[in-house]
Each structure stands twice: as structure tokens, then as C-alpha cells.
Amino acid sequence: RTARLVGLHSRQVATGPTLPAGLAARLDATRLDPRDGVHLRIFKEEELVEVWIADGEIYRLFDSLPICRFSGGLGPKLREGDGQSPEGFFTVEAAALNPNSAHFLSFDLGFPHAGDRAKGRSGSLLMVHGGCLSVGCYAMTDAGIAQIYPLVQASIRAGHPVPVHAFPFRMTPERLEAARASPWIDEWRKLAEGWARFERTHRPPEVSFCGTETVFERRPGCSEASGRQI
């Protein structure tokens, strides 16, 4: 009973109207405010999630948290049940937040996005969540998701949906060259374009899906990750 009460209290703290005290103190020390916008970058090979927070016109790195477990290997998710965690450019909005998750806390990445659906890809409930068990998700441990979830929630509550970019690895030219024989190299080169834009500007690029093509602008007639037409 005591353990259940502690878990409930932690969930209430993490999802409450104000940020948990320890997290708020760290933000104060860096003068960053998640209500200005949050951006997450996931790296499979490095088993890492980077948390970036807007600071004026750019985003600054606030934290890097280890992934406890993800499913499958490097490469995109293709279909329901393939045991693969997705890669790509996603946007997390309010409907994706699950404060009552069986995995403590979670948010849905929104796979398949419009571009994935155009490629015939399928899947559901692909999340970032607590614990250390993954069936296509990114499991961060309860302690890890307790750091990420309140920041994502604060950004969304302030009117800033959270771009989440999931990469197979850090998309440097050298790492791409080493992967040139992969069947996914063309897809990874497109991911690398988005990665490089952020590296140059420290601002998440605009992403639209025009059928199976990913473009880095808001192009009329194409779709956002949610499927909404632009």
C-alpha cells in the first residue's frame, strides 16, 4: 500500500499544474522555461534522449537522458508487430499525453505520421514512457520520464506542440558514410538533412509530408505530422 501511495504521489507531482520542485530549481539555474517551447531528439545508437528548451530565437540543450530500452535495431518501423521502434520527425500534442499510463507516464509519438502512412507503414501506441520494457517504444525508466514528461506537458499547455525527432544515430557525414551500404541509407540521408538544419540553427526545422516526400518547410497542399493539411 505504501509503495502504491508513493507512486500515485509521484504521478500527481509530475503531472500537476506546476513543475516538480527539483526540476523547477534546475530550470531556474539555467534561466530556461519549457513554456517557451521544448524539442526532443532521440538517438538509438547512443541510447540517448536530448531535451532542448527555447531561449529566445534558439534552443539550448537542457539535459541528456539515457534510454533504458528500445525495440529492434537501427532503421525505421514498417508495420504493426515488427518489433521496431520508429524513426522520423514527429509532433507531440495534448491528445498524445497519457498521465495515467500503465508505464507510469507516457506520450504517443504519433506513428505512423502522414509520410509513414503514404509509404504504407502501420503501427500504433508507439510511445516514450517509463519503465524499462519496450514493445516498439522508447522506455526511459520512471525516473527518466518523470524529468521529460513535465517539460513536454508545460510546453504543450503553453501552446507549443513538441517536435520529437528520432534518429538511428548522430547523423554526421562520417557516420552516414559508414552506413552507406544500409538499405535505409536514402531514408537516413533525409533524416540527416533535418538533423543538420537543427545543428546549424538550433531551431527545429519546419517539416511537411508531401505524399512519401519529406520537405523542410510548410508547403501548401502537404500535411503536418498529425495529418492536418497545410
Catalytic: which of 103, 113, 137, 165? 137
Alpha-carbon span 43 to 99, nearest angstrom = 24
φ/ψ of residue 45, rounded to 5: -60, -40
Strands 38-43 and 162-167, sheet pairing: parallel
DSSP string of 126-171? Answer: -EEESSS--SSSEE-HHHHHHHHHHHHHHHHHTT--EEEEEESS--
Q: Which long-range contacts (CB under 8 A, 24 or more apart) does 9-13 make?
A: 10/104, 10/142, 10/146, 11/99, 11/100, 11/104, 11/105
The pLDDT assigned to 82 comes to 94
If pLDDT is split at 50, 70 and 90, which confidence band does 10 have?
A: confident
Alpha-carbon span 114 to 229, nearest angstrom = 10
Q: Is 176 helix (H, G, I), strand (E, B) or coil?
A: helix
Q: Is the pLDDT of residue 2 over 50?
A: no
* 54, 37 contact by CB (below 8 A): yes
The pLDDT assigned to 4 comes to 43
The pLDDT assigned to 162 comes to 97
The pLDDT assigned to 112 comes to 95
Residue 152 burial class via C-beta count within 10 angstroms: exposed 0-12, middle 13-18, buried 19 and up: buried
* Strand order, beta sheet including 106-108: 69-70, 138-139, 127-129, 106-108, 97-98
- Provide the percentage of residues in the chain whose pLDDT is more than 90: 87
The pLDDT assigned to 5 comes to 45
The pLDDT assigned to 3 comes to 40
Helix (H) or strand (E) holding 5: helix 2-14
Over residues 90-94, the mean pLDDT reads 96
| Higher per-residue pLDDT: 176 or 4 | 176
Q: Is the pLDDT of residue 28 over 80?
A: yes
Catalytic: which of 39, 103, 129, 160? 129
* pLDDT tens per residue, range 194-203: 999 999 999 9
Q: Is the pLDDT of residue 213 over 60?
A: yes
Determine the angle formed by the axes of helices 21-30 and 141-157, rounding to 10 degrees. 70
Catalytic-residue membership of 68: no
* pLDDT tens per residue, range 102-148: 999 999 999 999 999 999 999 999 999 999 999 899 999 999 999 99
| Higher per-residue pLDDT: 10 or 210 | 210
- pTM: predicted TM-score of the whole model, two decimal places: 0.94
* pLDDT tens per residue, range 141-196: 999 999 999 999 999 999 999 999 999 999 999 999 999 999 999 999 999 999 99
Catalytic-residue membership of 222: no
The pLDDT assigned to 7 comes to 53
Return mean pLDDT, the chain.
Answer: 93
- Provide the percentage of residues in the chain whose pLDDT is more than 70: 96
